Amino acid sequence: MSSQSTTDPRPPRPLDGIVIADFSRVLAGPYATMLLADMGAEVIKVESPGGDDTRSWVPPVRPDGVSTYYAAINRNKKSIVLDFKDPDDLAVAHALSARADIVVENFKPGGLKRFDLDYDSVKERNETVIYCSISGFGSAEGATLPGYDLIVQAMSGLMSLTGDPDGPAYRAGISVFDVMAGLHSTIGILAALRYRSMTGKGQNIETSLLASAMSGLVNQTSAYVAGGVTPNRMGNAHPSLFPYEPLPTADNDLIVTAGNDGQFRKLVEVLGVPELADDERFARNADRTQRREELRPLLVERLKTQSAEHWFAKLNEVGVPNGPINTIAQGVQYAEKLGLAPIVQVGPTGQSVPGVRNPISFSGIEPRYDLAPPALGQDTDEIRSWLAATAAAAYGEK
């Protein structure tokens, strides 16, 4: 059933032959399984008769009416519709979990136990299975809590850091912890595959949005855990660096950063105020950070003499990190200008749809974009037939 034919002249992918039963929905799980599918895994997306929630998360939509949210995270998969309350459908789900190398699910912890699709039940049918459960708040005291990203952004502390110091808290512009949890799940699955190749043993993996948040907040959680400091909202300012924020120019704001003393010296030389690098008030990062309110107007005075585009070019010439605040469209266009080719065509020629490139580049491996995000249940008959043939072959071997 693999999307790569045995006569395919293209080089093999690292996960060719790996079958994933994807019982996940919405974002974290589907994002993880899509990344694995790009690397060759055969991902079978199991959906209820109502389909993945993101199918109805509109607008925006593609020209063919498909939700762009759903399309963003479901390429290279096949879709089967199964109603776990139907005995025949549940039997198919059991057969799929018995055949899969990997099972991914993001039901509430314990939610699949009544269908015998929890880890312990699946392991009885599939001793070496790698089973990854994704939740909002873990499987202990947080098991009953709903795991929406916005709630985790609030409860983790991220929203307390986002926004102006005297303004309301804001969420990030994307479901940042769903994405992090998907990435952490992918790392865990790949590590478990390696472990299984060494020991022959499967693995039960648990990730959660809150655990990903605790790790993903990096210096901010460390400030509290290691330094006893509770960080606060600072708008676009950085608690440990200056300059590291948008600063006004003659027309638009420009992100200007100086991550070390050498970069700061280059910055002020370009701005025409080289003496600031030797000023004892600003010579070291700790000094600049402490005296940011003194330094900011001195930098802004010079930046306002020219356009953002002018400074962008001049600062890049000497290696000072900086950049304009783009729209999403401008960001994609800039990635194209840099040769990152962010847009790919997904699906066979003549039927392909645009998508965003897998962010990982290898020297001798290319991610594939063979299958467009599937319509609800479009592969149900094919998958049922494949499972029946697989079961018959296994029975014949006994």
> Model's pTM, two decimal places?
0.93
Q: What is the DSSP letter of 148?
A: -
What is the DSSP track for 170-188?
---SS-HHHHHHHHHHHHH
Under 8 Å between Cβ of 296 and 285:
no
pLDDT tens digits, one per residue of 74-124:
999 999 999 999 999 999 999 999 999 999 999 999 999 999 999 999 999
Under 8 Å between Cβ of 100 and 67:
no
pLDDT tens digits, one per residue of 331-367:
999 999 999 999 999 999 989 999 999 999 999 899 9
Sheet strands (E) in the chain: 19-23, 42-47, 77-81, 102-105, 130-135, 203-208, 244-248, 253-257, 322-324, 343-346, 353-356
Predicted local confidence at residue 10, as pLDDT: 80
Q: Read off the tokens for 69.
A: 């949210």
Predicted local confidence at residue 397, as pLDDT: 53
Integer Rg of the chain from CA? 25
Predicted local confidence at residue 4, as pLDDT: 52
pLDDT tens digits, one per residue of 128-187:
999 999 999 999 999 999 889 999 999 999 999 999 999 999 999 999 999 999 999 999
Question: Is 3 a residue whose pLDDT tops 90?
Answer: no
Average pLDDT, the chain: 95
Distances (CA, A) of 331 to 132, 173, 231, 260, 343: 33, 14, 30, 26, 12
Q: What is the DSSP letter of 159?
A: G
Alpha-carbon gap, residue 237 to 232, rounded angstroms: 11
Distances (CA, A) of 296 to 214, 251, 299: 32, 17, 5
Q: Read off the tokens for 121.
A: 């039940």
Q: Is the peptide bond before 109 cis (omega within 30 degrees of 0)?
A: no
Predicted local confidence at residue 71, as pLDDT: 97
- Give me the active site residues, please: 178
How many beta carbons lie within 10 A of that of residue 249, not counting itself?
22
